[in-house]
Amino acid sequence: MATFNALLVEKQEDKSFTRSVTQRSLDDLPDGTLLIHVHYSSLNYKDALSATGNPGVSRNFPHTPGIDAAGTVVSCDDNRFKKGDEVIVTGYDLGMNTAGGFGEYIRIPSDWALAKPDGLTLREAMVIGTAGFTAGLSVQGLVENGVTPDKGDILVTGATGGVGSVAVALLAKAGFSVVACTGKKEHESFLKNLGASKVITRGELLENKERPMLKEQYAGAVDTVGGEYLAQAVKATQYGGTVTCCGLTASDDLNVSVFPFILRGVSLLGIDSVQCPMPPRERLWGKLADEWKLECLDDLTEEVTLSEVNGKIDAILKGQISGRTLVKVQN
Ligand code: NDP
């Protein structure tokens, strides 16, 4: 292949950023031991930050975003994989300052990739993507901290988002009763179809936000938005419960007193998918392909092409997307 298609973000002289599907060549890709023909990627909130020039995510332009990629191996210099192997790449530097999955080819260090588990197709793997893997890490964190379905409801914030929607579905599959908090009450039936037993508005979660503690309502929570929503989740978690924290779509701030921690023994668990070491990464992907395999993956997915992903970038920044956006990269 002399050239291939990629979504290219370019920084203009007036410091604005433009995006277009452009022809790139393999010489444009960085050095690396593993060359992958990308079949699918997915849109994550971080991709939108990268595509709009957020310096906390991407500093070097022109740049191709896409923190997720699934495809087949073209060549592997260190023999970790062989030609034709199906692999998944999420996190590390992919799509940040390394050309990412919104291009038909990526070249990366081979230790960023894992062999696709048999129970998933490449397409299903990218419906899950970073968002779904992060939801998996969050649910796993609750379970490993002793939160079990008999202990009570689990709150999920940002519930219609990528991480939130997969978390709702995974928790329901694992037998938990899920209270989904959303700014899109009109999507109540979407959330109930994924397995939520109750849907509340952001306003309801923020009631009595001036109080340092709230009535014990949840055995645990998966927070994806941060700020006062995360604070309310911590304050409303019952004795011994756990709240996971992975995101900041509302705010990167957290203003909460120590009382929930020292009077109720509540745990706050940080979730990071980017540097998650390979052995637990492979174990969790194995679980997502097997006992946690979701039957509803198609119900929470919208499939777009490389040229269509452009419009979705603005929508995800405004919190307007529900579920997962799968990007079909290969023509
Ligand atoms: P999405 O944009 O798909 O979902 C975020 C959801 O948050 C929205 O759909 C909306 O849900 C809610 N939301 C948006 N804006 C606001 C707001 N101003 N106030 C309150 N709620 C809001 O993003 P993702 O699910 O892909 O990611 C969620 C967060 O998790 C991001 O901050 C992302 O960077 C982070 N993340 C972190 C990872 C890690 O490894 N730690 C990995 C993956 C993601 P609703 O309308 O239903 O309320």
Q: Is residue 76 part of a domain?
A: yes
Note whether 246 and 175 are same-domain residues. yes
Average pLDDT, the chain: 97
CA atoms within 13 A on the CB side of 310: 13
CATH number for the domain harbouring residue 246: 3.40.50.720
DSSP code, position 98: B
pLDDT exceeds cutoff 80 at 331 = no
Question: pLDDT tens digits for 104-127?
Answer: 999 999 999 999 999 999 999 999
Mean pLDDT over residues 178-202, rounded?
97
Note whether 31 and 84 are same-domain residues. yes
55 prior amide bond cis, ω within 30: no
Q: How far is CA 251 from CA 195, 230, 248, 315, in A?
A: 27, 9, 5, 18
pTM: 0.97
Query: Which residue has its alpha carbon closest to ligand 1 atom 5?
Result: 161
Q: Is residue 275 part of a domain?
A: no
Note whether 109 and 211 are same-domain residues. no
Q: Is residue 313 part of a domain?
A: yes
- What pLDDT does residue 73 have? 98
Helix (H, G, I), strand (E, B) or coil at 256: coil
**Number of residues that this document lists for the chain:** 331
Distance 323 CA to ligand 1 centre (A): 11
- What pLDDT does residue 2 have? 79
Q: Is residue 276 part of a domain?
A: no
Structural domain harbouring 315: 3-116+297-328
Question: Atom of ligand 1 at shortest distance to CA of 134?
Answer: 42
Distance in angstroms between the alpha carbons of the first and the last residue of the chain: 13
pLDDT exceeds cutoff 70 at 1 = no
Question: pLDDT tens digits for 128-154?
Answer: 999 999 999 999 999 999 999 999 999
Ligand 1: residues with CB < 6 A are 44-46, 130-131, 134, 158-164, 182-184, 202, 224-225, 229, 246-250, 271-274, 316, 319, 321
Contact 296, 11 (CB under 8 A): no
- What pLDDT does residue 330 have? 84
CATH number for the domain harbouring residue 102: 3.90.180.10
* Calpha distance 313→331 (Å, rounded): 20
Distance 223 CA to ligand 1 centre (A): 9
Q: Which two tokens stand for residue 195?
A: 């397995």
Note whether 145 and 169 are same-domain residues. yes
Query: Ligand 1, from 93, 249, 272, 275: best to mutate by most atoms within 8 Å of Cβ?
Result: 249
Q: Is residue 210 part of a domain?
A: yes
Q: Is residue 283 part of a domain?
A: no
- What pLDDT does residue 94 have? 98
| Phi-psi sector, 95: left (phi>0), alpha (psi -120 to 50), beta | left
SS (H, E, C) 174-202: CCCCEEEEECCHHHHHHHHHHCCCEEEEH
Tally of domains in the chain: 2
Contact 226, 179 (CB under 8 A): no
Note whether 147 and 220 are same-domain residues. yes
Cα three-residue angle 289-305-23, rounded to 5 degrees:
115
Pairing relationship of beta strands 178-182 and 198-201 according to DSSP bridges: parallel
Query: Ligand 1, from 128, 205, 224, 271: best to mutate by most atoms within 8 Å of Cβ?
Result: 224
- What pLDDT does residue 319 have? 87
Contact 269, 244 (CB under 8 A): yes
Q: Which two tokens stand for residue 270?
A: 């940080």
Question: pLDDT tens digits for 31-82?
Answer: 999 999 999 999 999 999 999 999 999 999 999 999 999 999 999 999 999 9
210: exposed, middle or buried (C-beta count within 10 Å: 0-12, 13-18, 19+)?
Answer: exposed
